[in-house]
Amino acid sequence: MTERMYLFLVGAYILLALYLENTYMIYGLSAFLVLEGISGIRLTRLMQKARHVSLSPGLLYLNTKARLGIDGLSAWRVFVAIVLVATYMLINEYGYDVLWFFPWFMGFAILGAGASGICPVLLGLRWAGFK
């Protein structure tokens, strides 16, 4: 599984969870993303090692100098989890219904990033200095 396919599946999962209005699916995905981001053990790497293949991520990269020792894909996972949980919690727990747009936008944007191979958030994180 490439990172591009992973982004597509994450986007589809977010949209499905929002459509079903299942809070546990959103929180579970966020916990999974944080665990992947912090530990550095990614599902895509594990699947490639199990299949004994090495696939390119399939995403557009900027050739920038890495100023931070943190991988950009790991930072992306943590960033997405934090923003998703924060907006979803503000909507459901505190009644800020005007924020309904953000989780849906994230789902469609991540799905589109998986389809096109261009993720603006990942490009921004790499520009900021992540590996």
DSSP-assigned states of every residue in 27-73:
HHHHHHHHHHHHH---HHHHHHHHHT------S--------SSS-HH
pLDDT for position 46: 80
pLDDT for position 62: 66
- pTM of the shown model: 0.86
Tens digits of residue pLDDT in 65-86? 777 878 888 889 999 999 999 9
The ranges of the chain with pLDDT < 50 are none
CA atoms within 13 A on the CB side of 92: 14
pLDDT for position 8: 93
pLDDT for position 60: 66
- Give the CA dihedral 36, 40, 42, 46, nearest 10 degrees: -140
Contact of 130 with 71, CB cutoff 8 Å:
yes
Positive or negative CA dihedral for 38, 40, 41, 45? Answer: positive
